[in-house]
């Protein structure tokens, strides 16, 4: 006679220990804890094409009260993925508030840096090429209060006014990096900040230059010499006139071609 088959009883799921939620007795609050260096595909608003696909390096953080040993790192990734891959200024507050709720935090932070691309036509030949810039979002929420800073970096050409004034033949120039950080009342296009920076230098840069373009860029720079001090002041004047800018910080650093050091200037206002 065959034995009746026996259905095994389901195994009890072992409750996993939650070390992060244990109490910590050192009585020290942590201002920011979370994940950083996460690469994530995103879409950002683009003035010319509505949206632009790019890849961001993202950081997400919250504060940690002194009572808790750690935070739950997986929840940061859950919040990020719950919002899909369309990231723009308008949906960042929702991400910050969700981080607060999911991690029981009073403050939350997001940092996002990504390459931003623009098509540019060479000044003489009109040949089109793609230029890359660096853009960055830094946002923080303290309860329901939001602070947002947009950062844009662009490379430019500067030609030394002193060198031009004292030299019988030519003048030395250099590549400069301009960094603009702004807070604003209404969102500002990344492209508009790039235009402000490039128009404040001796000349803008291009990815593709034919011979006639190189001549045009060289002569434009020679006709428009600027010190690093001129560069930041020129940018500041344009930002002062912008109706939506409430705070800014402008930095410029020139990689000197005849010195073994860089020239630097900074203006902050607001």
CA–chain centroid gap for 227, Å, is 26
Residue 126 lies in a domain: yes
Place 246 in a pLDDT band, splitting at 50, 70 and 90: very high
pLDDT for residue 22: 66
Residue 13 lies in a domain: no
Neighbours of 229 (CB within 10 A): 13
pLDDT at 25 over 90: no
Report, as an integer, the average pLDDT of 73-94: 84
Range of the domain at 250: 32-269
- In 17-127, DSSP assigns E strands to 30-46, 50-64, 107-121
Report, as an integer, the average pLDDT of 231-235: 98
Residue 6 lies in a domain: no
CATH number of the domain bearing residue 194: 3.10.270.10
Residue 22 lies in a domain: no
Q: Tell me which of 181 and 20 has the higher pLDDT.
A: 181
Residue 228 lies in a domain: yes
Buried b (16+ CB within 10 A) or exposed e, 188-207: bebbebbebbbebbbbbbbe
Residue 11 lies in a domain: no
pLDDT at 189 over 80: yes
SS3 207: coil
Report, as an integer, the average pLDDT of 77-84: 87
Residue 122 lies in a domain: yes
Residue 200 lies in a domain: yes
pLDDT for residue 2: 59
pLDDT at 262 over 80: yes
pLDDT for residue 20: 63
pLDDT at 119 over 80: yes
Report which of 114, 89, 138 is spatially closest to residue 244, judged by C-alpha positions.
89
pLDDT for residue 15: 74
Question: Would you give the end-to-end CA distance of the chain in angstroms?
Answer: 92
pLDDT for residue 107: 96
Report CA-CA distances (Å) from 104 to 23, 62, 111.
15, 9, 20
Number of domains in the chain: 1
Region of poorest pLDDT, from 55-59, 87-91, 141-145, 261-265:
87-91
């Amino acid at each position: 006679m065959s034995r009746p088959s026996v259905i095994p009883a389901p195994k009890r799921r072992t409750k996993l220990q939650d070390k992060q939620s244990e109490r910590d007795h050192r009585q020290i609050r942590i201002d920011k804890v979370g994940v950083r260096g996460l690469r994530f595909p995103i879409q950002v608003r683009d003035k010319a094409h509505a949206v632009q696909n790019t890849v961001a390096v993202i950081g997400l953080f919250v504060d940690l009260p002194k009572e808790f040993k750690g935070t739950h790192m997986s929840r940061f990734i859950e919040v990020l993925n719950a919002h899909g891959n369309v990231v723009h200024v308008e949906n960042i507050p929702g991400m910050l508030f969700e981080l607060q709720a999911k991690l029981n935090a009073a403050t939350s932070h997001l940092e996002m840096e990504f390459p931003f691309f623009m098509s540019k036509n060479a000044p003489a030949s009109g040949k089109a090429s793609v230029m890359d810039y660096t853009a960055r979002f830094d946002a923080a929420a303290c309860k329901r209060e939001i602070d947002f800073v947009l950062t844009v970096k662009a490379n430019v050409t500067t030609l030394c006014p002193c060198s031009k004034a004292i030299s019988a033949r030519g003048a030395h120039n250099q590549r400069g990096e301009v960094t603009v950080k702004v807070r604003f009342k209404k969102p500002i296009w990344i492209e508009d900040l790039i235009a402000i920076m490039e128009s404040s230098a001796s000349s803008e840069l291009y990815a593709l230059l034919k011979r006639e373009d190189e001549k045009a860029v060289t002569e434009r720079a020679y006709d428009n010499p600027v010190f690093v001090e001129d560069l930041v002041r020129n940018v500041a004047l344009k930002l002062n006139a912008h109706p939506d800018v409430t705070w800014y910080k402008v930095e410029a650093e020139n990689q000197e071609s005849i010195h073994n050091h860089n020239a630097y200037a900074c203006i902050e206002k607001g």
